[in-house]
A and B are shown apart, each in its own frame.
Chain A
Amino acid sequence: MQTSENILELKGVKTYFSTTKGVVKAVDDISFSIGRGEIVGLVGESGSGKSMTSLSIMGLVPQPAGKTVAGEILFHGEDLLKKNDEQMRQIRGDKISMILQDPMVSLNQILSVKYQIGEVFRYHDKSILGSLKEMCIGVLKKVKVPSPELRVNDYPFQFSGGMCQRTIIGMGIANGPDLLIADEPTTALDVTIQAQVLQLMKQVQEETNAAILMITHDLGTVAQLCTRVLVMYAGRIIEKAPVNTFYKNPSHPYAIGLIKSVPVLGRKSDRLYSIEGQPPNLLNPPTGCRFAARCEQAMPICTQEYPPEVSLEADHQVSCWLFAEKGEQ
């Protein structure tokens, strides 16, 4: 789809959990790619498999219940799924990084900030420029934590939530990664801090030219930050589009619903649009389109067969029978 400049490409990735009740298909046959320096948004309801997608890329799907059972995850053309633990460890924190949702619990409360930043360098054979401490101070400086020389000796419980998340972002970009995955980096923060953190991420991206996979619930963030959007529903990607196209011309009924449910300043409406019904259970998902049960335009075929991915434009794909050939008959 994208050119040779793709740094990450997922092809038919499936991540399943085996539970006593059966197999939970958290990520089911998803494919997408991210180009160098691109910021791609991944949106979808809670439980749709966004975090599992990112953990699959990191090779950190919760063991032993979960496993990536099929597909390819090509990073610079090499399949990450074929790498062994040590190779993956060396990539993590160096070439690929990730930021988690809740900064207050993502840092170990009883180890100093200095130690925890230092880990990023210590385990990646970095030639230490100056002392480790100075490098840590440099990280804090870059993400604008005030008086980094003093704060570097602190413990995370002495930091505010925003400062913790800045620190985590700092750790994420410390080694100049090619890909940064941000899993709802602002959800746990105050509204005022949210804007600052997003601002920081954008700035960081411009400086380092890292590609970012931005996972979020918030379409506002997507509009502000991203170049492209992936919409996920019940373990599958149902629409991929550039941000402008997505806002102007969403195609999948679920995506249309999503856009309609965003409150727009100035538009007068007494009630926000919301999509009826519940997302399906990922344990024994329905055959056919997973959104069919909630879809106002559902046709008989929708419940029988999963729709193929259709290209509407060069970089706009949708999986919906409304646009596929068989569906029109």
Chain B
Amino acid sequence: MQRYIIKRFLFGLLTIFSTITVVFFVMRGLNPADPTAIMLPPDATPELQQRLKVKFGLDKPLIQQYGIYLKNGIVGDFGESFRYSEPALDLVVERIPATLQLTVSSLFFSVLIGMIVGITSGVKRDSLFDRVGRQLSLIGMAVPSFAIALFFILTFGVMWRIFPISGRGGLDHFVLPVVSMSLYGIAAFIRLSRSSMIEVLKSEYVVMAHIKGVPKIKIILVHALKNGCIPVITILGLVIPGLVMGSVVIETIFSWPGVGNLVMVSIFARDYPVVQVIVIFISILIVMSNLMVDILYAYLDPRIRYQ
């Protein structure tokens, strides 16, 4: 068990490191555009451009730049933003809480609501509840989250003015972003946990439990739920990267001052230091959540624990 977790952890570190490396070389090596050209007015002299390059260390050979980047990175210096002339790390770190609030709460709602509805649907298959839930989840999976967000802004923000539509503030600022970000996930988890539940309820060990005279509610809560959760958890690992994408969209629409918002601005401004820090942040986030999924998995499934 411990060995398993340690192995996964080391694998995660390797992933982060290789992501940093790939991103560095692709962004600085393959990139045709010169970031200094964007920072300066079009009529700037070549000397000025050269001075700027020296300032940001862009005049050295790529491999040397990479060495410097890693060396500084260890002490937490990821360079200065081209755009804001502020340390890139500070710029990103300052925005992390906002993004985490958004992603964690929508993940929470997606899983909670999706599983409750999905499991109920699976248990009460073909009931009215199941049929309605199935139709709604089909529609939920057909609408992109940005469209839902815009629709909510239109109705609750513009027409009825119930909720604020931009920025971060009180609890009311959370409602529209979190709901629009969760709906797709809710729909996906409904479908997944429903089919997984149906699958499990057909299995032989559930029949066996009935034969032993275990009450139905216990069968659902112990046998079916535990087994049915395994595929759901597997999917959780795949959903989290999607959530990061979702937060980019939602933060952009609701002007939410988070990392997702910053990354869009930085890409268009070719602000590499910032983009790189964000990439590191994203891969740490994903590695950590994968680790959590692995631990959950091992907790649920003794076949992994006893490996």
Contacts and interface: CB of A to CB of B under 8 A. Distances in A.
A85 B210 CA distance: 11
Size range of the chain B interface in the assembly: 20 to 34
A111 B222 contact: yes
A60 B210 contact: yes
Contact of A108 (B126, B216, B218, B223): B223
A58 B226 contact: no
Size range of the chain A interface in the assembly: 20 to 34
B208 A92 contact: no
A106 B213 contact: no
Interface string B37-55: 0000000000000000000
Contacts of B212: 92-93, 97, 119-120, 123, 171
Nearest to B218: A123
A110 B223 CA distance: 9
A60 B213 CA distance: 11
A100 B204 CA distance: 8
A97 B205 contact: no
A111 B226 contact: yes
Nearest to A124: B213
B67 interface: no
A100 B218 contact: no
Contacts of B227: 108-110
B268 interface: no
Contacts of B208: 100, 106-108, 168
A69 interface: no
Interface in B195-235: 203-205, 207-216, 218, 222-223, 226-227, 230
A137 B214 CA distance: 20
A141 to B, nearest CB: 19
Given A100-B204, A157-B303, A123 B215 contact: yes
A93 B306 contact: no
Contacts of B205: 105-109
Binding site secondary structure of chain B: helix
B302 interface: yes
B77 interface: no
A172 B188 CA distance: 40
Contacts of A123: 212-215, 218
Contacts of B306: 155, 158
A94 B213 contact: yes
| Central interface residue in B205, B207, B301, by most chain A CB within 10 Å | B205
Contacts of B216: 85, 89
A109 B305 CA distance: 13
| Central interface residue in B212, B223, B226, by most chain A CB within 10 Å | B212
Interface string A79-119: 00000010001111110011010100111111110000001
A64 B201 CA distance: 13
Nearest to A122: B214
Given A100-B204, A100-B208, A105-B204, A110 B301 contact: yes
Interface of A: 58, 60, 64, 85, 89-94, 97-98, 100, 102, 105-112, 119-120, 123-124, 155, 157-158, 168, 171
18 contacts: A89-B213, A89-B215, A89-B216, A90-B213, A92-B212, A97-B211, A100-B204, A100-B207, A100-B208, A105-B203, A108-B208, A108-B209, A109-B302, A110-B227, A110-B230, A110-B301, A119-B209, A155-B303
Given A108-B208, A108-B209, 6 more contacts: A97-B211, A105-B203, A109-B227, A111-B226, A119-B218, A123-B212
Interface of B: 126, 203-205, 207-216, 218, 222-223, 226-227, 230, 300-303, 306
